[in-house]
Amino acid sequence: MVQGTWIHQTVLLNEAVTALAINPDGHYVDATFGRGGHSRLILEQLSRQGRLTVFDKDPQAVQAAQVLAANDPRISIRHEGFAHLGELGAASVDGVLMDLGVSSPQIDDPERGFSFRHDGPLDMRMDTTRGQSVAQWLETADVSTLSEVIREYGEERFAQPIAKAIDRRRQERGPFRTTRELAEVVAGAVKTREPGKDPATRTFQAFRIFINAELEELQQALAASLNVLRPTGHLVVISFHSLEDRMVKQFMARHSRAVVDRRVPFAEPAPMALRGLKRVMPSDEEVKGNPRSRSAVMRVAERTEAAA
């Protein structure tokens, strides 16, 4: 798919849609439409009675979805994050797909401010119509907050030196305005880095996750999936960094076992809500053709009938 001059290669395309176990007459959710790679393949497998609901916060992604929906009445579009998944109603969906992270058009477009490789406005908002940009947040965030965000969301061991360097740069030269300004300050504060990895990688990840409340939204969406999925419906989640994958793994594991109420020790355990099915990684061939897929992990679970 092409957005301007930026090309997006959908990661684990066939594997993810296969994992949904499509019922042609069913109702499916693409919780992160992006540029519609997964959605298009889902639609190919749906009948005229089938339905697809797509979510995305990015106005450009919504525009792409509107083009697709213009001639296809099976599609419903929601310009909002998938934290709103629960609004679809109980047991109303046969499968939910979440492809987390940032799309290639977002990364490659300098105007979006996601990448340290391209100089552009320091924005990083998924939804450019609302909320604070990273540049605006950096004007007021104190050193303690900066350090905590960089450490927790970027898993960066140099969080404190980076936070202090950011604060020193603000005091000396004023607010940050561009991605290059931030990347240069971070590079000066990071003493060592893994071979082939830019010093700014973890800090940019941390600020993006924080400014978009990505982990909080994922937590809400995972919880909502238990309510909206019908019995035997599949939950398919593709993650791109350890924070996301850990959250998904723990969620699926927690709900894939019976729950004992310790206050009532002789009562029957509450039945498990999910059945973990599998974990899938990109093939060597896919990673070779699309290096950005190398960190992807897909986890699949099925909504159990007993808990519904």
pLDDT number for residue 1: 37
Per-chain mean pLDDT for the chain: 91
**Domains parsed from the chain with CATH numbers:** 2-105+214-303 (3.40.50.150), 128-211 (1.10.150.170)
**Chain segment 78-129, per-residue pLDDT in tens:** 999 999 999 999 999 999 999 998 887 888 899 999 988 889 999 999 999 9
CB–CB of 37/13 below 8 Å?
Answer: yes
Question: Is residue 23 scored above 90 in pLDDT?
Answer: yes
As a whole number, mean pLDDT of residues 214-239 equals: 97
Token pair, residue 181, equals: 């300004």
pLDDT number for residue 265: 62
As a whole number, mean pLDDT of residues 170-184 equals: 96
Alpha helices in the chain (DSSP H): 13-19, 37-45, 59-69, 104-108, 134-138, 143-154, 159-173, 179-189, 201-211, 214-228, 242-254, 284-289
As a whole number, mean pLDDT of residues 41-51 equals: 98
Side chain identity at residue 32, one-letter code: T
- Give the separation between CA 273 and CA 199, rounded to whole angstroms: 42
Q: Which of 211-215, 271-275, 294-298 has the lowest mean pLDDT?
A: 271-275
pLDDT band at 186 (very low <50, low <70, confident <90, very high): very high
- Give the separation between CA 94 and CA 66, rounded to whole angstroms: 23
Entry pTM:
0.90
Partner residues linked to 276 by β-bridges = 301
Q: Collapsing DSSP states into helix, strand and coil, what is residue 229?
A: strand
**Chain segment 257-290, per-residue pLDDT in tens:** 765 556 656 555 567 899 999 999 999 999 999 9
Contact partners, residue 57, CB within 8 Å, separation at least 6: 79, 80, 81, 126, 127, 212
**Chain segment 192-201, per-residue pLDDT in tens:** 777 778 999 9
As a whole number, mean pLDDT of residues 210-226 equals: 97
Phi-psi sector, 138: left (phi>0), alpha (psi -120 to 50), beta: alpha
Give the closest residue to 301 by CA, choosing from 20, 17, 18, 13: 20
pLDDT number for residue 259: 59
- Give the separation between CA 286 and CA 14, rounded to whole angstroms: 11
pLDDT band at 209 (very low <50, low <70, confident <90, very high): very high
pLDDT number for residue 269: 58
- Give the separation between CA 56 and CA 195, rounded to whole angstroms: 34
